Structure 1
Amino acid sequence: MRGVSQARLAVSGLFFLNGLIIGSWAPKIPVLMSRLQISESTMGLIVLCMGLGSVTMMPVFGGLTARYGSSFSVRLAAILSAPVMLLMSLAPTLWSVAAVVVLFGGTIGGMDVAMNANAVAVERARRRAIMSSCHGFWSLGGVAGAGLGGIGITLLGEIGHSVLLTLVVAAGLALIFPRLLHDAPSQEDRASTPLRLPRTPLPYVIGLVALCCMIPEGAILDWAAVYLQRELGASLSLAGWGFAACAGTMAVMRFLGDEIRQRFGAVRTLRVSAVIAIIGLTIAGLSSSPVMAIAGFAFAGLGLANMVPIAFSAAGNMPGLASGVGLSVVTTMGYSGILVAPGSIGWLAEHFSFSVIFVGLAALLLIPLLLSRLMKSADFG
């Protein structure tokens, strides 16, 4: 049991380090724009390269996880991702930076699939949910990476910050790797696991649930401040609280989510979460004041917090399907929501108000609510 407890801490550490690396990307963007002398539109294309790398490599690492186990694939992805930020800092030209960003997206995306699969393996061993708190550690890592990254770049310069980040990640991995849960499949299971997309529709339906849950997350991240400022007259300092309020309540609720799911079950938890998120987004969309909209985003965060972790647990425990294969489908579909949503919502905002858009996103969450019965495989009773 001590080994399983250590494995639980180890996989939480992986989520934290993954969030730390991704969070460190945020303050890197203006530095790259300045160094390369590029415009916002060009930087947008480079950001798209990150998404392209992730979507391409997530199915690959899903197949590796199914064939060799999550402990193998997460080690590979984590080792490859550790020096990528340093390589990005050393890349001298626009094209070399773009190539490294593709690698960055691929390794981080592959690590995402594999560490979620390892969390599922730990859940099975413990017979208790841990996925929500793992995503909570990811949120903490993201806050640390984004918050300390700007300070690090200011004090140490772009390369100095990247060297320090690489050393911190490498030290963290050295502590984590010996404590990871080893879940390599048997020779018979390995031979019988085809490296192809599943032919059953269930993973894709659960992927649709994850997609519908992550689109509102991406929308609040990218557009809440614009909505508060342009349509509700918020000051620039107040407008930033739209996403901050949502992210804060999400982080708190994710650390509470495992016990909630353990007590009430995945299906009921998802249903209640969906209703809360729908109410929160509706309040935000129909608000006449910035403060009320911010309160709506905070309430929506309480609901959104545990919906994606439940979908990931359900994907990793589908009967008759290797967890890496199911998770690769669901994570790819889910994270495509964050990649697709910003541009799509920006286009819609030219034809409709953000108020209408956020109410529409509330309606989108009716899909996970109606499909909530499919989350039964996320239970560990």
Structure 2
Amino acid sequence: MAPVSTRAAISALFFVNGLLVGSWAPKIPALMARHGFTEATAGVLVLLLGLGSLCVMPLFGAMVARAGSARAVRLAAWLLASGLVWITLAPELLSLGLAVLAFGGLVGGMDVAMNANAVAVERSLGRAIMSSCHGFWSLGAFAGAGAGGIAIQGFGELPHALAVTVLFAAVLLAVAPRLLADGPAPGAARVPLRLPRTPLPYLIGLMALASMIPEGAILDWAAVYLEREMGASLALAGWGFAACAGAMAVMRFLGDRLRRRFGAVRTLRVSTLLAMAGLVVAGLAEGPVPAIAGFALAGLGIANMVPIAFSAAGNVPGLAAGMGLSVVTMMGYSGILLAPGGIGWLAERMSLGTIYIALGLLLLVPLLLSRLARTADFEAP
């Protein structure tokens, strides 16, 4: 199959996965209104979403190792396609929680499998594509979140869920046959279904964890920081994460070219320094506009840190891509899952500005471990 075709196919899957995840965000207030539960219960649902992802990721990592990423991503995607419909149709809180748990699990499973397929496409092309794949995910998430609220308000929850499902399924039908087949060669030894015994994927996972905690902190707390500590209006406060997300999307589409030119290690180091500088600027800012500029600068840096970590994990010598990626994705996404609650606890004891400065210092971890990203580099065949 043509390399361009396989690259377009996996990019399309990143986009619709982001679209589905983005479409979940505007459903939360609609579910709260329909079921009559509080913010605390909504927080439990968000926790279930993350726990589902963390529990299922290793299973799909093992499937990738045994059967290849193309088969794994097709299975996860088809099971996931109607997830929003089941969430919408859940009649009471218990069934809703189970539907959200399953939805989160399949999102996580698809995430591992499609990242593994992107690694396989990188190998076949002999060059990096991971950052642009994550750029397509960002575009999908932006589209899902932006259009979702309008669609739910204008047409209702179920029509919105059905429309997203139909679009997801249509894209999947079109591109699934074009995914790069990367299963083990006939007669090859079966990969043991166990966690890696080498420390390298866990160290790369530590890099991903440290990289994703600041992203989650900006997502969940930038607006609160700008409104409560900077005195910004609600409309202006929303630009904290928007500036970060927009900068991330742009830089992700540039990231593969930068990595090919300068190498993964140097790109990761410069990205980490940019992110550190942005977080410190935001934390030290005396007004909302400089803080927003700091979040944008942080987004430029954060954008390519996780894609590089994923590429590095998928190319650890002597380790199946699915097993390395399952470790790194679990560790990385646990940062976004665990960070909001921990930062909320800390914010009752210190300013968010101080916390953002501390998160800038946390990025010393990927900076010091950046040499491990050398497995993300490719040579043309």
Counterpart-to-counterpart distance in 1, 2:155 and 2:223: 30
Q: Distance in 2 between matches of 1:188 and 1:109?
A: 30
Does residue 373 (structure 1) correspond to residue 365 (structure 2)? The answer is no
Question: Does 2:224 correspond to 1:226?
Answer: yes
- RMSD between aligned residues: 0.8
1:115-264 equivalences in 2 (<5 Å): 115-189=114-188, 191-264=189-262
Aligned to 1:281: 279
| Deviation (angstroms), 1:133 | 0.3
C-alpha distance in 2, partners of 1:231/1:35?
33
Give aligned-pair identity as a percent.
Answer: 65
User: CA shift at 1:155, angstroms?
Assistant: 2.3
**For each residue in 1:345-372, what CA deviation from the matched residue of structure 2 results, as whole angstroms up to 9, or x when unmatched?**
0001111111110000000001100000
Matched residue type, 1:198: P
1:291-344 per-position Cα deviation (integer Å, ceiling 9, x unaligned): 000001001111110000000000000000000000000000000000000000
- The Cα of 1:26 is off from its aligned counterpart by 0.6
Tell whether the 8 Å contact from 2:66 to 2:190 is kept in structure 1 after alignment.
no
The answer to which of 69-78 and 44-53 deviates more is: 44-53
Q: Which amino acid aligns with 2:359?
A: L
Q: What residue is the counterpart of 1:93 in the other structure? A: 92
In the alignment, what sits opposite 1:44? 43
Q: Distance in 2 between matches of 1:261 and 1:188?
A: 35
Supply the AA of the counterpart residue of 2:73. Answer: V
Unpaired runs of 5+ in structure 1? none
CA distance in 2, matches of 1:325, 1:195: 8
Contact 2:112 2:326 in 1 (8 A): yes
Asked if structure 1 preserves the Cα contact closer than 8 Å seen for 2:264 and 2:374, the reply is yes
Q: TM-score, with normalisation over the residues of structure 2?
A: 0.98
Partner Cα separation in structure 2 for residue 303 and residue 161 of structure 1: 34
Q: Say yes or no: does 1:28 pair with 2:27.
A: yes
Gaps in structure 2 of 5+ consecutive residues = none
Alignment of 1:318-329 (within 5 A): 318-329=316-327
Matched residue, 2:301? 303
- The CA deviation at 1:187 is 3.8
Q: Give TM-score, length-normalised by structure 1.
A: 0.98
Letter of the structure 2 residue corresponding to residue 54 of structure 1: S
Aligned to 1:80: 79
AA aligned opposite 1:126: L
SS of structure 1 residue aligned to 2:2: helix
Aligned length: 379
Q: Which moved more, 1:328-337 or 1:146-155?
A: 146-155
For 1:6, the aligned partner's letter is S
Letter matched to residue 224 of structure 2: V
Describe the SS at the equivalent of 1:347. helix
Measure the CA separation in 1 of the matches of 2:133 and 2:225: 31
Q: Report the Cα distance in structure 2 between the residues aligned to 1:47 and 1:292, rounded to whole angstroms.
A: 31
Which SS does the other structure have where 2:286 is aligned?
coil
Q: Which amino acid aligns with 2:183?
A: A
Deviation at 1:89, TM superposition (A): 0.8
* 1:192 Cα deviation from its structure 2 partner: 3.0
After superposition, give the CA deviation of every residue in 1:245-271 in whole Å (9 maximum; x if it has no partner).
000000000000000000000000000
